Structure 1
């Protein structure tokens, strides 16, 4: 709203009029023009004045007088008498200020109170964040635990705390029935809490009757089990935060890893192996999984590995490994293990190109 009124003519600088400036808020009000100041002084001097005589008394055009009156009534500096709306009386500026500013001050106080409430509410979370930071920074990236009972206790504690997922990788053949029974009770409780469980075995674990029974019971509880001919190593990962791997030189020791980058790398390695693995099914005598085991034996033989190393890599007994090797050599007509690997590799790559002049 300008000093010339909402519907009045635009301000004329040559007559000393100033453009009014309004704020951006919903309760913004007009600034006073010089005409409005003259009208207010006149009405204040006379106490009461007829609106129709103001222009003549002040020597102002009717449109400018009407605009000034509109501005002053909008600012609550003039009010019309109820009995005669043409009569104007002045209002004390302090009263007008109180009437105009009080609602805005109240709204501002409400905004400030909301800001204080929000600040206080969010500040309640600061201790939790700080504690989490301290815990993360206080974690030891790598810890070597040499006592077997301590290792078992750490696994049990991590199992109890686990809330989302556990990844386990078990190279080698089947585990002992006693260990499998302990694992079943512990793992079953996790599954019933809604924890996802994924386990990788080597294909040779499908031969092992206790492992077959364990796998059946666990899959009934919701566990996921897959097998692969070769695995990258033994590990158990809890919630993508803590990984336990065996110590290289001490079978009773473990290495606890909590470094985020290393844990993420190990979990990604597990996930890649998982994507290549086959779902666990005990009956697999003539399945592609059996062929995959033989292909792995052939590949390792071609690399020059001894029987003992092949058996260890594939998680099978030396006797079973040598039985497979004998079958492969007979099938290929090979005189030696290395030749068997070579012949199998040539056979898988297709016929050799013809020699020149042949």
Structure 2
């Protein structure tokens, strides 16, 4: 009873204990607890106010942005490309390594690009030099020639790339084009734009003429590219793939390169390429001035 303050010493005679009403005793026991609760609640409010700006920053940093999306299957890839193209308002950049595109893919690409051009979107596309001798590619370019389009070629392109409005980029992850990445991270997209501009500045306008014409040293532009890859140790199949031509054409160019340098064997050809000095500096682009 004393422990719960239900008995209290008599003020007139401390040897006696007087009963305390339970309501008063309970209030006396609860007051310090409620005071502590009030203090704790106030402390929690103050801590929440202090941490509020940090929580906001954390929420922004951890909110999923879907900056990298894996697209599996051609239908899903084309659907994502069509959506991005439909939202594109200013410019589309594309890198298209040479290959035999199917009629279906050409029609899909033509429909997508035609819609962009009608909307006033600028298109810049990079092909490999071999595209100059592809009837399908030339016909495709001709159908879009009335829009804000530019086509250039370069000897070697590593992989396919599509960028819309500095906002989204698409790159493949497999050679069969069945899996691609949709990139929306601003840093990644800006980096890929810089890669595109680097190649664009070293490419030749499609209308500038054939880049395979023989230079003053008797070696064509494409043969300079083949020579560089030969010295790096690539086999014929790898060179053909990287330059967008079939292996037979590649070997024909290698034979002409060997004849121009007076080589009687593959081993001697590598030595003569190194001795000739043809790879010591960038070769001038024939058929048109190299863009700065």
Q: Counterparts of 1:285 and 1:227 in 2: how far apart (Å)? A: 9
Q: Counterparts of 2:263 and 2:231 in 1: how far apart (Å)? A: 12
Q: Counterparts of 2:212 and 2:99 in 1: how far apart (Å)? A: 19
Q: Counterparts of 1:317 and 1:278 in 2: how far apart (Å)? A: 21
Equivalent pair of 1:299/1:345 in contact (CA under 8 Å)? no
Among 237, 240, 263, the alignment partner of 2:163 is 237
Matched residue SS, 1:220? coil
Among 292, 297, 301, the alignment partner of 2:230 is 301
Q: Could you say if the C-alpha distance between residues 272 and 340 of structure 1 is closer, same or farther in structure 2, counting changes exceeding 3 Å?
A: same
Q: Could you say if the C-alpha distance between residues 288 and 250 of structure 1 is closer, same or farther in structure 2, counting changes exceeding 3 Å?
A: same
Larger Rg: 1
Q: Could you say if the C-alpha distance between residues 249 and 291 of structure 1 is closer, same or farther in structure 2, counting changes exceeding 3 Å?
A: closer
> For this pair of structures, how many residues does the alignment match?
219
Matched residue SS, 1:215? helix
Partner of 2:179: 253
TM-score normalized with structure 1 length:
0.56
Give how far 1:343 is off. 1.3
Give how far 1:292 is off. 2.0
Equivalent pair of 1:151/1:254 in contact (CA under 8 Å)? yes
Q: Could you say if the C-alpha distance between residues 339 and 140 of structure 1 is closer, same or farther in structure 2, counting changes exceeding 3 Å?
A: farther
The aligned runs of 1:111-126 (5 Å cut-off) are: none
Matched residue SS, 1:276? coil
Which has a greater percent of helix?
1
Q: Which has the higher contact order (CA 8 A, sep 6+)?
A: 2
Q: Could you say if the C-alpha distance between residues 174 and 259 of structure 1 is closer, same or farther in structure 2, counting changes exceeding 3 Å?
A: same
Q: Could you say if the C-alpha distance between residues 259 and 180 of structure 1 is closer, same or farther in structure 2, counting changes exceeding 3 Å?
A: same
2:145 equivalent to 1:210? no
Q: Could you say if the C-alpha distance between residues 286 and 167 of structure 1 is closer, same or farther in structure 2, counting changes exceeding 3 Å?
A: closer
Matched residue SS, 2:263? coil
Give how far 1:258 is off. 0.9
Give how far 1:186 is off. 1.4
Q: Counterparts of 1:181 and 1:288 in 2: how far apart (Å)? A: 36
2:89 equivalent to 1:163? yes
Give how far 1:220 is off. 2.6
Greater than 6 Å deviation, 4+ residue runs: none
Q: Could you say if the C-alpha distance between residues 254 and 238 of structure 1 is closer, same or farther in structure 2, counting changes exceeding 3 Å?
A: same
2:198 equivalent to 1:272? yes
Equivalent pair of 2:153/2:203 in contact (CA under 8 Å)? yes
Q: Counterparts of 2:147 and 2:214 in 1: how far apart (Å)? A: 27
Structure 2, unmatched stretches of 5+, are: 1-58, 280-292
TM-score normalized with structure 2 length:
0.68
Give how far 1:333 is off. 1.7
Partner of 2:113: 187
Matched residue SS, 2:240? helix
